[in-house]
């Protein structure tokens, strides 16, 4: 038993995990599958994130991309800085520290029996995939599942084989668009909001889950308002600079909200008094 914390788990102590699979999804995004060194399953709910660390280098919050219905944990890591560069150089068998899971979750219980529409921009597909996979693994619990995906360019598309498999399924609808046309692409061209009119009749009675780059929210939320979707039915996944991940340091604070604890998933109507949030 730890004496300094009276036997409570140290919230800053990472657990060692081993990379059991790795592959590049595109030029900048690395997919890793992790298993705990101590054995046992990861305990989390779609929407949550973990703090990922490499000893002597640093730590960063990373969304969980897998579903708790599967074994191990999957993350997608963009190579942007000191820590993520080191992780990109790692191989199967190398170790990462994992703290968490932290943060709020997608409405996996209250959304039961309802239609789900996921609006994903770029790397925003990563956390959304956790709930999509969870809903597919509990298919009878949810109504129609629609996934709208917008990516900047063809070469940046994520999870291509998995999207092709989702596209084959009769029990979900997947629509993709890329911002800029490409010789190998005969699908929709334009930003993700160009897909919204195609599903407009679905929207007012669906739960809408939105995740993407900050610029996307403004336009998606405008389109949803035009489609008369109640703010209560919209969930947004916000990203802010974080340090502790557990509501202690204030790095992620927006007025009275701590994005690491109150978010990253927020019901849009709960942000009405915090216009700075979006
Ligand atoms: C809830 C949450 C979930 C996330 N999920 C993912 C995910 O699934 N995958 C993923 O790849 N990333 C994710 N991120 C982002 C990731 O945590 C950051 O990109 C992290 O900073 C990477 O760490 P690093 O040490 O590699 O890069 P850093 O050294 O932190 O640099 C990252 C970039 O940010 C800039 N930067 C550094 N510090 C600051 C600062 N104080 N102010 C402004 N800019 C700064 C740097 O110049 C660089 O461009 C998530 C963030 C949050 C909050
Ligand atoms: S990251 Fe420290 S309070 Fe949110």
Predicted confidence (pLDDT) at residue 3 exceeds the cutoff of 80: no
| pLDDT > 90 in the chain, percent | 89
Residue nearest to atom 3 of ligand 2 (CA): 247
pLDDT digits (tens, 9 = 90+) for 9-48: 788 899 999 999 999 999 999 999 999 999 999 999 999 9
What is the structure's pLDDT at 184? 86
For residue 74, which of 145, 11, 134 has the smallest C-alpha distance? Answer: 134
- Residue minimizing CA distance to atom 7 of ligand 1: 62
pLDDT, tens digit, for every residue of 226-247? Answer: 999 999 999 999 989 999 999 9
pTM listed for this prediction = 0.95
Q: What is the pLDDT of residue 183?
A: 86
From the CA of 82, how far away is ligand 1's center (Å)? 10
Tell whether omega for the bond before 195 is within 30 degrees of 0, i.e. cis.
no
Task: Please state whether beta strands 95-102 and 145-151 pair in parallel, antiparallel, or not at all (unpaired).
Answer: unpaired
Alpha carbon 33 to its chain centroid, in Å, reads: 15
pLDDT tens across 150-191, in order?
999 999 999 999 999 999 999 999 999 999 988 889 999 999
Tell me the pLDDT band of 278, cut-offs 50, 70 and 90.
Answer: confident
Mean pLDDT of 252-270: 95
- Alpha carbon nearest to ligand 1 atom 13, residue: 62
C-alpha span between 144 and 166 (Å, rounded): 13
């Amino acid at each position: 038993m730890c004496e300094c914390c009276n036997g409570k788990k140290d919230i800053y102590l990472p657990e060692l995990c081993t990379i059991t699979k790795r592959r590049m999804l595109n030029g900048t995004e690395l997919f890793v599958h992790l298993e705990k060194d101590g054995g046992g399953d990861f305990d989390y709910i779609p929407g949550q994130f973990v703090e990922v660390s490499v000893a002597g280098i640093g730590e960063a919050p990373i969304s969980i991309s897998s579903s708790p219905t599967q074994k191990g944990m999957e993350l997608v890591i963009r190579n942007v800085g000191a820590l993520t560069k080191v992780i990109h150089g790692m191989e199967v068998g190398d170790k990462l520290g994992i703290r968490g899971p932290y943060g709020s979750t997608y409405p996996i219980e209250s959304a039961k029996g309802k239609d789900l529409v996921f609006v994903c921009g770029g790397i925003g597909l990563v956390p959304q995939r956790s709930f999509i996979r969870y809903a597919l693994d509990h298919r009878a619990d949810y109504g129609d599942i629609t996934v709208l995906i917008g990516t900047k360019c063809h070469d940046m598309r994520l999870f291509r084989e998995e999207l092709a498999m989702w596209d084959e399924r009769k029990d979900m609808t997947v629509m993709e668009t890329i911002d800029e046309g490409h010789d190998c692409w005969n699908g929709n061209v334009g930003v993700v909001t160009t897909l919204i009119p195609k599903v407009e009749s679905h929207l007012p009675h669906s739960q809408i889950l939105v995740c993407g780059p900050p610029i996307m929210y403004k336009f998606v939320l405008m389109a949803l308002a035009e489609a008369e979707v109640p703010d209560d039915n919209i969930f947004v996944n916000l990203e802010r600079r974080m340090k502790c991940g557990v509501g202690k340091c204030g790095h992620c604070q927006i007025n009275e909200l701590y994005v690491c604890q109150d978010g990253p998933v927020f019901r849009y109507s709960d942000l009405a008094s915090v216009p700075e949030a979006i």
